[in-house]
Amino acid sequence: MKIAVLSGGLSTERDVSITSGSLVSKALRERGHQVVLLDVYMGYEKDNCDPEELFRQGYDFTKNAVISEDVPNLKQIKAMRKDKSDRFLGQNIEEICRCADIAFLALHGDVGENGKLQATFDLLGIRYTGTGCLGSAISMHKGISKSVLAYNGVPVPKGQVFNKKTPVETWNFFPCVVKPCSGGSSVGVSIANDRDEFLSAMKEAFRYEEEVIVEQYIKGREFSVGLLDGKALPIIEIRPKTGFYDYKNKYQSGLTDEICPAELDSQSTIRMKQYAEQAYKALMLQAYSRIDFLMDEKGDMYCLEANTLPGMTPMSLLPQEALVQGIEYGELCENIIALSLDKYHKR
């Protein structure tokens, strides 16, 4: 197959996406596919673009992708673009993706995950991996997805969505968690123990987005459940060695212990998997996803959010869960493609 792997973009998770894309591309090439790896925002900036030749060459825009400890500077990224335009899709992206059998979306956050790119590709007739535009849009907005999950019987933390005009005095429950409403990788997320910390946390979260969600703080254990075609994989437990599961703890080696399968009794395991599968269906997810949970000291479970394009880095949770199920990384990538193509065959 000819596969265009799209990574990078203009989200705060840009570095994570590039690493995901590099690994996906390498694995698919090793399994005999013709693969090009592209930065969806930078595109292929040469005037003479022959998509067929790029697939034959196995074009790869980067050979040394790493995730830094800091969130990428998006202003600097924009300044590097040759044409200086404000469009999202880089030069020649549409042409190259049209030549592919499918575009593998190794993107995280913002336009790559909020349904806008999916809707654009639907209009252009470009096939892509993962959930469609509606499920992506619902899942990306934490306030909307919480409402949908609660309506469908999936327990969620109590919370409130704020914009910059919402009076902060309407929240009086501490400790609490403050996070950008549509962000990922825990960028801009803070735990506030009192009013002063809350005001600082709101200021930090508003640096990234115009809407912020505030939720009750739940002390307990953190878990994640990957799904393929709506069926839950083995549960993984996440244990940061210090602090909480923030950007640094997620992507810097050795800072978090991840146990898979999670050390849960059989009844709790069944219940969490059922909630994950309910969430998958309620949010209209497709092909694959990952659902995050907290479980408090009483054993009550709370669904935190759904990830429509889970990370595929060396430390990402979905590949770890799949491996415990007996699915190697390259096979997982091919499974994602096969399940994604199914959604087009079922139309």
DSSP reduced 3-state for 220:
strand
Q: How many angstroms separate the CA atoms of 55 and 38, rounded?
A: 11
Q: In the structure encoding, which two tokens stand for residue 275, read together? A: 């909630």
Count of residues making up the chain: 347
Neighbours of 160 (CB within 10 A): 15
pLDDT of residue 70: 72
Question: Which sequence spans correspond to the domains of the chain?
Answer: 2-128, 139-155+219-326, 159-216
What's the longest Cα–Cα distance across the chain?
Answer: 62
Q: How many angstroms separate the CA atoms of 70 and 14, rounded?
A: 11
pLDDT of residue 32: 97
Q: Which one-letter DSSP state was computed for residue 169?
A: G
Q: How many angstroms separate the CA atoms of 195 and 199, rounded?
A: 6
Query: pLDDT of 247-279, one tens digit each?
Result: 444 545 567 899 999 999 999 999 999 999 999
The residue ranges of DSSP E strands in 127-200, in sequence order, are 159-163, 176-180, 190-192
Task: Please give the C-alpha separations between residue 107 and each of 215, 251, 293, 317, 323, in angstroms, as whole numbers.
Answer: 26, 16, 22, 16, 22
pLDDT at 246 over 70: no
Query: pLDDT of 27-45, one tens digit each?
Result: 999 999 999 999 999 999 9
Which whole number is the average pLDDT over 122-140?
A: 97
Which whole number is the average pLDDT over 12-33?
A: 93
pTM recorded for the entire structure = 0.89
Query: pLDDT of 73-92, one tens digit each?
Result: 888 888 989 888 889 999 99
Kindly indicate the confidence band of residue 110, based on its pLDDT and cuts at 50, 70 and 90.
Answer: confident
Query: pLDDT of 218-230, one tens digit each?
Result: 999 999 999 999 9
Q: Are 223 and 235 in contact (CB under 8 A)?
A: yes
Q: How many angstroms separate the CA atoms of 171 and 155, rounded?
A: 21
Share of the chain above pLDDT 90, in %: 75
Q: How many angstroms separate the CA atoms of 2 and 20, rounded?
A: 18
pLDDT of residue 240: 81
pLDDT of residue 71: 76
CATH of domain 139-155+219-326: 3.30.470.20
pLDDT at 297 over 60: yes
Q: In the structure encoding, which two tokens stand for residue 89, read together? A: 């899709």
Radius of gyration (Cα) for the chain, nearest Å? 20
pLDDT of residue 256: 82
Query: pLDDT of 325-339, one tens digit each?
Result: 999 999 999 999 999
pLDDT of residue 67: 65
The residue ranges of DSSP E strands in the chain, in sequence order, are 2-7, 34-39, 102-105, 159-163, 176-180, 190-192, 211-216, 220-228, 231-232, 236-240, 256-259, 288-296, 301-307
Q: Work out the mean pLDDT of the chain and round it to a whole number.
A: 91
Choose which CATH entry (3.40.640.10, 1.10.3720.10, 3.40.350.10, 3.40.50.20) describes domain 2-128: 3.40.50.20
Q: Which CATH class is domain 159-216?
A: alpha beta
Q: Are 93 and 102 in contact (CB under 8 A)?
A: no
pLDDT of residue 82: 87
pLDDT of residue 347: 62
pLDDT at 242 over 70: no
Q: In the structure encoding, which two tokens stand for residue 153, read together? A: 């019987």
- The better pLDDT of the pair 177, 63 is held by 177
